[in-house]
Structure 1
Amino acid sequence: MSSPPIRVFYKGDSDYSVFIDSKDAYEKYKEDSTVPLSDVISVYKVFHSRVGGNEGVLDEVSNQQLENEFGSSRAEDAILKILKEGEMKTNVSGIQKREWSSTNDAKYSSRTY
């Protein structure tokens, strides 16, 4: 069974994410920036959420978006900043660990069926 994806989330003018290969490699990279980036990340793409935040449908970021947010249209420059300043999110696979609660229990409490 494969492990769930691990995302590093960065809050800028918009919300950006990159996917890393393992938590251990990421933590090692944060301690020692001489660790090759290829040991931490295998997909050199930056994503953003359509609805904002760290969940929802992700789209690949355009070169113009990279330029506006990170000052460079190179994905690698953005990835380096996201890895350095971002926050790791391990629960990115939907509702598996989400807690649900009702927000309007009293609305139908007096109704008879």
Structure 2
Amino acid sequence: MPRGNAAVTKVHFQGKTDDFIVFVESAEDVAKWKKDSSIPLAQVVNSFKIMVTHKQGAQGQLDEASNASLENEFGTKNEDEVIKKILTDGQAQTSEASERSGDRNETKGPRQGHPTA
């Protein structure tokens, strides 16, 4: 995922079983692809990873979608087919990436002060 204060565009698809996210280059690229599906997905999609937010909408914590969740929602685990469905039926959203981009080191636990005895 991008880092820094760059704008991030994602397509959010609200499914029956979960909410799915695909990161794209721009909303304009998605619109062009919708009009001309001969444009290669690689020119539209920022990452070929399909993410889920566990029914937390477009802003929920992102995890990579499992093959089972893709199969349950879309009837296929073929990522290209799923991405096309998400781009076609999802909603493009652009936001600043400054607050929650990149990986967090979850092994260190929450960062909060502990009272001393």
2:10 corresponding residue in structure 1: 7
Flag the 1:92–1:63 CA change in 2: closer, same or farther, 3 A.
farther
Gaps of 5+ in 1: 96-113
1:32 corresponding residue in structure 2: 36
Flag the 1:66–1:92 CA change in 2: closer, same or farther, 3 A.
farther
Q: Over aligned residue pairs, what C-alpha RMSD do you find?
A: 2.0
Which residues in structure 2 correspond to 1:1-113 (within 5 Å)? Answer: 3-13=6-16, 14-91=18-95, 93=97
- Count of aligned pairs: 95
Identity of matched residues, %: 35
- Scaled by the length of structure 2, what TM-score is found? 0.72
Query: 1:28: how far off?
Result: 0.7
| Bigger RCO of structures 1 and 2 (CA < 8 A, at least 6 apart) | 2
Query: 1:50: how far off?
Result: 3.3
Query: 1:52: how far off?
Result: 1.7
- Scaled by the length of structure 1, what TM-score is found? 0.75
| Structure with larger Rg | 1
